[in-house]
């Protein structure tokens, strides 16, 4: 019977893998024995959004959040926090599907997994817990003691909430990041070998944290590039350390277990941020009763909604239209909706950097890229400024007309999420066809099911990687039926 291990590496960047692959012998060998390549991310490429798509095989409109916050009515802003509760109510992820097919499941530190999902005959170690909550971080609750006995005090995050990246002790932070991911790898092996799970999915987030602190030491194009720093090799060494852990895991697996390495977005240099609501105010699309005295969060702005046509949220370029008949104080007539989107698109694509240089910016309408029961509540427009090398800020008060800045609300931030992540998969049913083009995060969930010889639900929007490469060794329908019946009997169903 086939099993699969999915190792998520948050921010594993395809360009940096390419640069350092000769120093990563285990991953290089996996590439030679299986399928690998760039993995197209979601729009926007945020953690809560992209990692959820990895697990459900459906676009964000099916579950209704595009970042760590969302709205489920037509509120001004996104007042609710994305969680496993709302996700589980709206969409079937693999950890809901697989137990019904007699698969034993373990989730370890998967983004947007708090509170821990109650997986039948399975396990969940949630991602970071909101500071205001006292609820435990594991399912079942007794798993918390087992984790403590195995790895000691569990490290939930790399940084304190709202930490100022520019003021962090880098030496202490780097040790903490290594310690955190060491726990993830230890737990992953525990659930593979001791708990004997059929589907084990762990996400190591240390690389994301290290990139935020150290990226400018390794990229000559970074605006704060430091060529002489003692930190210039930190990222390269972290990639090679990850490779050693990949090798340890891969060599410990039986011949019936597939290893799937993936990240649904890469990590790339961050050139700055576009103060998008500031721009909307300057261009006359957003009206304030009072301009703030300093940078002020969107929720605290004194917005004149009857005179406002559009507003922005988040750090990834998301614009909502204040539509009459939809929002409570809508100012845009429905018959002007498309015209306004066209106008905004044309202007936004011509926003330059602070030196007047053109940015390679992409603008998407929601209706062109997202669909489903909750798409209607999402942003009307999504923007990738210069291929996501510029974030956006929803704050206003940087100075009238000042649309560029280089400090995020969390201080200096070296790196942001890119439009493409990375994947590599190898195992008995995976053909050694090497680099594979045209892969999306939405291929991930069906690939897991196909590898386990299980039926792929019709609502998953993309095919499995095995079907994409049309390999004859892909599991048959008979294999799937035999697998389910055998496991049901074993688990007492």
- Can you name the residues that pair with 327 across neighbouring β-strands? 324
Do 204 and 282 fall into the same domain?
A: no
Do 167 and 44 fall into the same domain?
A: yes
Do 169 and 296 fall into the same domain?
A: no
Q: What CATH number does the domain containing 471 carry?
A: 3.40.720.10
How far is the first Cα of the chain from the last one, in angstroms, to the nearest whole number?
18
Which 3 state secondary structure label does DSSP give 122? coil
| CA–CA distance, 209 with 221 (Å, rounded to integer) | 20
| CA–CA distance, 148 with 183 (Å, rounded to integer) | 10
Number of neighbours of residue 134 by Cβ within 10 angstroms:
7
Give every residue of the chain whose pLDDT is below 50, as ranges: 132, 471-477, 480, 483-484, 487-488, 490-493
| CA–CA distance, 8 with 2 (Å, rounded to integer) | 20
pLDDT reported for residue 77: 94
Spacing of C-alpha 469 from chain mean position: 25
Do 107 and 240 fall into the same domain?
A: yes
Spatial contact of 42 and 418, defined as CB atoms under 8 Å apart: no
User: Which DSSP state fits 266?
Assistant: B
Question: Among the three residues 412, 447, 482, which one is the final residue of a domain in this structure?
Answer: 412
Residue 389, C-beta contacts closer than 8 angstroms, at least 6 positions apart = 268, 269, 270, 271, 416
Question: Among the three residues 394, 412, 430, which one is the final residue of a domain in this structure?
Answer: 412
| CA–CA distance, 349 with 338 (Å, rounded to integer) | 16
C-alpha distances in angstroms, 396 versus 77, 287, 309, 379, 404? 14, 11, 16, 19, 12
* E-state strands within 147-282: 199-204, 257-263, 267-269, 272-275
Question: Among the three residues 350, 377, 412, which one is the final residue of a domain in this structure?
Answer: 412
pLDDT reported for residue 340: 98
Spatial contact of 345 and 362, defined as CB atoms under 8 Å apart: no
**The domain containing residue 354 runs over which residues?**
272-412
Mutual orientation of helices 234-252 and 206-214 as an angle, nearest 10°?
170
Do 64 and 80 fall into the same domain?
A: yes
Residue 314, C-beta contacts closer than 8 angstroms, at least 6 positions apart = 44, 46, 66, 67, 69, 78, 392, 394
C-alpha distances in angstroms, 179 versus 186, 368, 435? 11, 43, 32
Do 107 and 95 fall into the same domain?
A: yes
* Domains held by the chain: number: 2
| CA–CA distance, 384 with 276 (Å, rounded to integer) | 12
Spatial contact of 83 and 99, defined as CB atoms under 8 Å apart: no
Enumerate the H helices of 216-262 as residue ranges. 234-252
| CA–CA distance, 176 with 186 (Å, rounded to integer) | 15
Do 14 and 144 fall into the same domain?
A: yes
Do 192 and 63 fall into the same domain?
A: yes
Residue 142, C-beta contacts closer than 8 angstroms, at least 6 positions apart = none
Do 57 and 99 fall into the same domain?
A: yes
Do 57 and 204 fall into the same domain?
A: yes
3-state secondary structure 126-152: CCCCCCCCCCCCEECCCHHHHHHHHHC
Which 3 state secondary structure label does DSSP give 72? coil
Spatial contact of 417 and 18, defined as CB atoms under 8 Å apart: no
Do 338 and 285 fall into the same domain?
A: yes
Spacing of C-alpha 162 from chain mean position: 19
Spatial contact of 249 and 193, defined as CB atoms under 8 Å apart: no
Do 221 and 343 fall into the same domain?
A: no
Nearest of 429, 455, 355, 441 to residue 34 by alpha carbon: 429
Write b or e for each residue in 165-203: b if 16 or more Cβ atoms lie within 10 A of its Cβ, otherwise e.
beebebeebbebbeebbbbbbebbbbbbeebebbbbbbb
């Amino acid at each position: 019977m086939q099993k699969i291990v999915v190792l998520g590496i948050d921010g594993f960047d395809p360009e940096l893998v390419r640069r350092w692959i000769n120093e990563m012998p285990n991953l290089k060998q996996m590439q030679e024995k299986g399928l690998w390549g760039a993995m197209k991310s979601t729009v926007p490429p945020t953690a809560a959004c992209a990692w959820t798509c990895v697990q459900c095989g459906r676009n964000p409109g099916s579950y209704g959040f595009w970042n760590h916050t969302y709205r489920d009515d037509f509120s001004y802003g996104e007042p609710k926090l994305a969680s496993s509760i709302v996700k589980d109510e709206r969409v079937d992820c693999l950890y809901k599907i697989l137990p019904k097919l007699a698969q034993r499941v373990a989730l370890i530190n998967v983004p947007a997994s708090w509170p821990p999902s109650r997986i039948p005959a399975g396990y969940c170690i949630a991602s970071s817990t909101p500071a205001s909550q006292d609820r435990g971080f594991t399912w079942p609750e007794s798993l918390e003691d087992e984790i403590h006995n195995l790895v000691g005090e569990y490290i939930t995050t790399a940084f304190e909430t709202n930490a100022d990246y520019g003021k962090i002790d880098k030496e202490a932070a780097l040790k903490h990041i290594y310690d955190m991911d060491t726990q993830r790898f230890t737990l992953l092996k525990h659930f593979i070998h001791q708990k004997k799970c059929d589907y084990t999915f762990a996400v190591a987030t240390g690389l994301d944290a290290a990139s935020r602190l150290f990226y400018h030491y390794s990229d000559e194009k970074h605006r704060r590039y430091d060529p002489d720093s003692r930190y210039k090799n930190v990222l390269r060494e972290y990639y090679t350390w990850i490779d050693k852990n990949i090798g340890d895991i891969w060599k410990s697996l039986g011949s019936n277990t597939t290893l799937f390495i993936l990240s649904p977005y890469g990590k790339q240099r961050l050139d700055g941020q576009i103060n998008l609501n500031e721009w909307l105010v300057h261009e006359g699309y957003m009206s304030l009763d009072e301009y703030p005295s300093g940078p002020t969060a969107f929720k605290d702005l004194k917005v004149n909604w009857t005179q406002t046509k559009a507003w922005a949220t988040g750090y990834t370029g998301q614009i909502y239209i204040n539509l009459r008949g939809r929002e409570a104080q809508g100012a845009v007539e429905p018959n002007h909706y498309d015209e306004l989107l066209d106008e905004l698109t044309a202007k936004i694509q011509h926003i330059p950097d602070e030196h007047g240089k053109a940015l390679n910016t992409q603008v998407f309408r929601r209706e062109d890229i997202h669909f489903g029961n909750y798409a209607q509540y999402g942003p009307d427009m999504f923007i990738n400024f210069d291929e996501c090398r510029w974030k956006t800020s929803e704050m206003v008060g940087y100075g009238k007309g000042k649309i560029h800045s280089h400090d995020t609300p969390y201080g200096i931030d070296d790196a942001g999420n890119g439009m493409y992540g990375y994947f590599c998969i190898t195992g008995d049913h995976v053909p050694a066809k090497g680099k594979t083009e045209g892969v999306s995060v939405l291929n991930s969930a069906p690939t897991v099911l196909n590898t386990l010889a299980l039926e792929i639900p019709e609502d998953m929007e993309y095919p499995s990687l095995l079907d994409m490469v049309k390999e004859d060794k892909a599991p048959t329908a008979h294999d799937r039926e035999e697998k389910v019946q055998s496991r049901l009997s074993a688990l007492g169903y």
